Chain A
């Protein structure tokens, strides 16, 4: 949980998780740039892999929000790709996954928190979006507001708790047993990292779809 190797940039302290996040951003950006620079009709190996990834994400999003898939694909897809790389990063010796830092997961959860009204208002206008807080009756207003905050908190704490406890478990087993004993735990780590990344993106997708699809219902009425 401590930030080793910290330097300060003016009044802001830069910790390891920020530097790792920058590294991941750089890697993703470079790969995205390289893969889209020379797009061809008959794709080579690299382009086929990237197209497969994008198609898988597209299919998963269209299963939940068929009308708005195109619109939220960049946000959800970026979350998924970033989280998969970030969660798996602690398998690399010497690196820690940035998602075991509560600040990083809170930042991601806050992004989702603000993306929900952003996409909601963009799709159905301010009035219709705010009206959804008063359904099915105005008495539900406090519960809607509480649920907005509590689900953001739950997103952040879930990812943080899972990743941190996995790393901590591997470390404790290493302390108790020998060198090769933590390998089963690390295998569990791979599964858990992928599942957590999937769940974070999927929950964000469900929240976004929920905010955007009320418009669909309203226009039908």
Chain B
């Protein structure tokens, strides 16, 4: 198998496994955060605004983990910096 073919194969497999694994963590974290927020909301419905605001900020923080994963995978797929060594 030529170098290019193995790079393409490797980066595709790495990208799919990477996004699959990289989304598990944020998904668990988001589920936990939303679950706790709902519990807090049912216990104290009057503090809905503060809970929702904190929940949104927290979700944004968690979501950015998945987005980092996506950005790295897009770099690997479309702008792989390691390709230079093969093409040289």
Contact = CB atoms under 8 A, between A and B. Distances in A.
B88 interface: no
A158 B56 contact: no
A166 to B, nearest CB: 11
B67 A165 contact: yes
Interface residues of B, number: 13
Contact of A157 (B49, B53, B64): B64
Nearest to B67: A161
Contacts, number: 35
B51 interface: no
Interface in B35-88: 49-50, 53, 56-57, 60-61, 63-64, 67-68, 70-71
Contact of B56 (A157, A161, A162, A202): A202
Contacts of A195: 56
B64 A158 contact: yes
Nearest to B78: A1
A168 to B, nearest CB: 8
Chain A interface category by residue count? 10 to 19
Nearest to B56: A199
Contacts of A160: 71
A32 interface: no
A158 B65 CA distance: 9
Contact of A154 (B49, B56, B64, B70): B64
Contacts of B68: 157, 161
Given A158-B67, A162-B67, A165-B70, A203 B53 contact: no
A64 interface: yes
A33 B84 CA distance: 52
Interface of A: 63-64, 154, 157-158, 160-162, 165, 195, 198-199, 202-203, 206
8 contacts: A64-B53, A158-B67, A161-B68, A165-B67, A199-B56, A202-B56, A202-B57, A203-B57
